[in-house]
Structure 1
């Protein structure tokens, strides 16, 4: 029988405290402070935006990767091949957050010079939420796009065998008055992190999310009748741009997240585009489109039409009002266990 978390089973943790805790934990296993801070920034932003599956929920895996020597805590990206608009990068098995930030910065630099930058890397690790990197381009008034391949958790239509990842897609584009379009989505029905959070809340896993027998995640669409072949196609599209183009691991060759038997060798793809290279007035037209969509008559007046990024903005506002991120008791207990094992100060509630 499922049950939802109650107020007594949850606790509010301020953002600076989450950041402090993550840095302390990563430094306790030998991570240099600057890299620990980069990872902490990614984890905190994920929970702040409401992507709980990619936030503090992932800390134990990051710690484990370092302890099992399958992630290079001092690894830094290296440019292998470069043109004015493109670059091929070796992540040198560094933290995905470090590799991703480097690659998008390089894509931005190229876009500012020649109008577009496309950077592909191999040899990376889990990079968290894609919107971290598209936000880098957004801050420069550029369109940012990024993709990543992931562990083979998804079964294509007509099989229960997991051979492709939840391969995510993210895009950010600037509108007027600091408004923006911010898409960040898995190509599976839900991410693995969403499944994990559902389990921690003791809630039922819908059949359209995962196969109850094998545990395989479903492509976006859930079933073939509901067009899961489209989600599957998008997942392969991402794989082509990440694993195949980069020369890194791909498909079922990728290490399962949470196992430490080999290097992950993940591939990412980052694109930055300068709208000024095209028709003038991009920001105004985008804002007009977004407002048109938001003003569309909703079926239920209590649930207005949203665009990509609006849910995250609402969640961030709620976090600000609460004074921090609200974690379930299970999440707090897992963090307390990590703190005890690493002999660091545990999370301090608000």
Structure 2
């Protein structure tokens, strides 16, 4: 597999996105978001998405030239309309608005509608934590259903992630996970690479688990979080739809004929409840307590977000290993758009 470096990948992806109608600024922003996902080790949300993004631009499912606007607001809430523009651009705009409001009044809630794929949701709430705030994100997918409700093999839901980030005075604690057993992009990556998936990820239409990733894109589905004990993941997926698709009126999986993300950011200023020094002292004591356990042989107790930071440091030094099939597709797309790869691999 080719090993690529972020300083080469980002401008390459940015140039590709410009050819399908993005402004240079928006293209750089989206490219940066995708490559940063690769750096963090989440290849399912990285450059594997570029081909799909460009296809969506050509099909009108995303409008690369659109910019987000505020549809309605008051001092602590807002509704942001992405006008079906790039999700990374819209979500970045919305979390910044939520941060601004929370700093003024102590808490905020910003609902996002008509946004294309936003990518890794944890990135946005991390922005809040870096400002000393607590950030929470609820997200749903408005498009083809991929996830089965618990007790069925028939798809009705999507991977609908939830994320939150807590400030520590140093690196924030960041929790970001899908309400399905695994993110759809990881199943897609296995399919692209012609590899099986672990048993429990994908369920066939008969309700039986399979290791064939193709089944998730045929008559089967991805299992809810918890796999054969997926009732809690199923409930989380429902909650994400209620907080976003239902609340905004934009719909949920397979209720709309487009591909979009619904998103609700909630940001809280902990200074409304306690002093920063006391908060960070209490948090430090808690982390010491949690990590003070005896780990299993060959294992380590990590906080959410730690492994991503370590991977990022490693991949900045050593490069990003990109799946050969993904890279071949990306080079083929670039060639068709007249974009040349000038980096090393």
Instruction: Check whether TM > 0.5.
Output: yes
In structure 2, the partner of 1:288 is 285
State which drifts further: 207-216 or 36-45: 207-216
The unaligned stretches of length 5 or more in structure 1 are: 1-9, 255-261
Q: Once the two structures are superposed, what CA deviation does each residue of 1:69-106 show, in whole Å capped at 9, x if it has no partner?
A: 22111212222221211111221111101110111011
State which drifts further: 278-287 or 333-342: 278-287
RMSD: 1.5
In structure 1, the partner of 2:253 is 251
1:87 matched to 2:78: yes
In structure 2, the partner of 1:308 is 304
Aligned partners of 2:63 and 2:85 also within 8 Å: yes
Aligned partners of 1:149 and 1:238 also within 8 Å: yes
Aligned partners of 1:336 and 1:347 also within 8 Å: no
Post-superposition shift, 1:146? Answer: 1.2
1:19 matched to 2:10: yes
Aligned partners of 1:11 and 1:349 also within 8 Å: no
Between the aligned partners of 1:279 and 1:101, the Cα distance in structure 2 is 28
Secondary structure, aligned partner of 1:121: strand
1:208 matched to 2:200: yes
Aligned partners of 1:249 and 1:266 also within 8 Å: no
Within 5 Å, give how 1:315-326 maps onto structure 2. Answer: 315-322=311-318, 324-326=319-321
Aligned partners of 1:93 and 1:263 also within 8 Å: no
Post-superposition shift, 1:347? Answer: 6.0
Between the aligned partners of 1:40 and 1:135, the Cα distance in structure 2 is 18
Query: Are the structure 2 counterparts of residues 311 and 58 from structure 1 closer, same or farther at C-alpha, using a change threshold of 3 Å?
Result: same
In structure 2, the partner of 1:131 is 122
1:297 matched to 2:287: no
Within 5 Å, give how 1:117-196 maps onto structure 2. Answer: 117-150=108-141, 151=143, 152-176=145-169, 178-196=170-188
Post-superposition shift, 1:145? Answer: 1.3
In structure 1, the partner of 2:223 is 218
TM-score of the two chains, using structure 1 as the length reference: 0.90
Post-superposition shift, 1:61? Answer: 0.9
TM-score of the two chains, using structure 2 as the length reference: 0.91
1:240 matched to 2:242: yes
Secondary structure, aligned partner of 1:41: helix
Match of 1:74 among 59, 65, 73: 65
Q: How many pairs were matched up?
A: 328
Post-superposition shift, 1:137? Answer: 0.8
1:346 matched to 2:341: yes
Query: Are the structure 2 counterparts of residues 66 and 86 from structure 1 closer, same or farther at C-alpha, using a change threshold of 3 Å?
Result: same
Q: Once the two structures are superposed, what CA deviation does each residue of 1:156-196 show, in whole Å capped at 9, x if it has no partner?
A: 012222111100111111113x1321111111000111112
State which drifts further: 234-243 or 195-204: 195-204
1:332 matched to 2:327: yes
Q: Once the two structures are superposed, what CA deviation does each residue of 1:212-244 show, in whole Å capped at 9, x if it has no partner?
A: 353300000001xx2x01001011111111111
Aligned partners of 1:154 and 1:219 also within 8 Å: yes
